[in-house]
Structure 1
Amino acid sequence: MPKGYIIGHITVNDPEAYKEYVVRDTPILLSHGAVPLVRGGQGQVMEGEQHDRHVVFEFPSYEAALAAYNDPEYQKVMKIRHRTASSTIIVVEGA
């Protein structure tokens, strides 16, 4: 079964308030089997829209990634990200 991924491209507008999002979203994602592969760090956008931060979480399956994103607790926490950053979030099935 192919793995699933949540990929985020994020520009943080309020770094202090954004910290709460990171603290609260991580346990929710981990409870769905997430493994953080990329979480910040150096990066260069070679093509396309520039964002400051990039994250990739691997899940046991595409369905698990969707379940994590749609988790009611995550949906509440997501509102912190909406207030403190602009972002593109993608759920994708691996090869």
Structure 2
Amino acid sequence: MKKGYWVSLYFKIENQENLKKYSELATPVIKSYGGVPLIRGGKHDTFNGDDFSRTVVWEFPSYAKALECHSSKEYQDSWAVAKKTTKRHMQVVEGFSTE
């Protein structure tokens, strides 16, 4: 079974406190669906395309589990805290394996 990933590229954060509260609420929800944080901010260099202020990547046991988490009421309630003051490009992506 291929893993699933959330890839979020943040291009506008108007209220850091809202984003912090979202993170506090969302993290336990995401982990309850098997989510593991791989990238959460941190130092970066942009070589092509737009520069985003923050990148976040979560790994899930499966693509279906990643979608299920994103669609859950608990996750949507947590995102509502930052939704109006945070602009991001967010995708759920199926993983790839050469194995």
Into which bin does the TM-score normalised by the smaller protein fall?
A: over 0.9
Point out the structure with the larger helix share.
1
What is the rounded CA distance, in whole Å, between the counterparts of 2:57 and 2:18 in structure 1? 21
In the superposition, the TM-score normalised over structure 2's length comes to 0.89
Q: Tell me the number of residue pairs that the alignment of Structure 1 and Structure 2 aligns.
A: 95
In the superposition, the TM-score normalised over structure 1's length comes to 0.93
Identity %: 38
Q: Corresponding residue for 2:47?
A: 46
Unaligned 5+ runs, structure 1: none
Q: Does 2:2 align with 1:2?
A: yes
One-letter amino acid of the counterpart of residue 30, structure 2: L
- Cα displacement (A) at 1:50: 2.3
Q: CA RMSD in A?
A: 1.1
What is the rounded CA distance, in whole Å, between the counterparts of 2:68 and 2:46 in structure 1? 29
Question: What SS does the aligned partner of 1:83 have?
Answer: coil
Q: Which moved more, 1:54-63 or 1:41-50?
A: 41-50
What is the rounded CA distance, in whole Å, between the counterparts of 1:81 and 1:42 in structure 2? 23
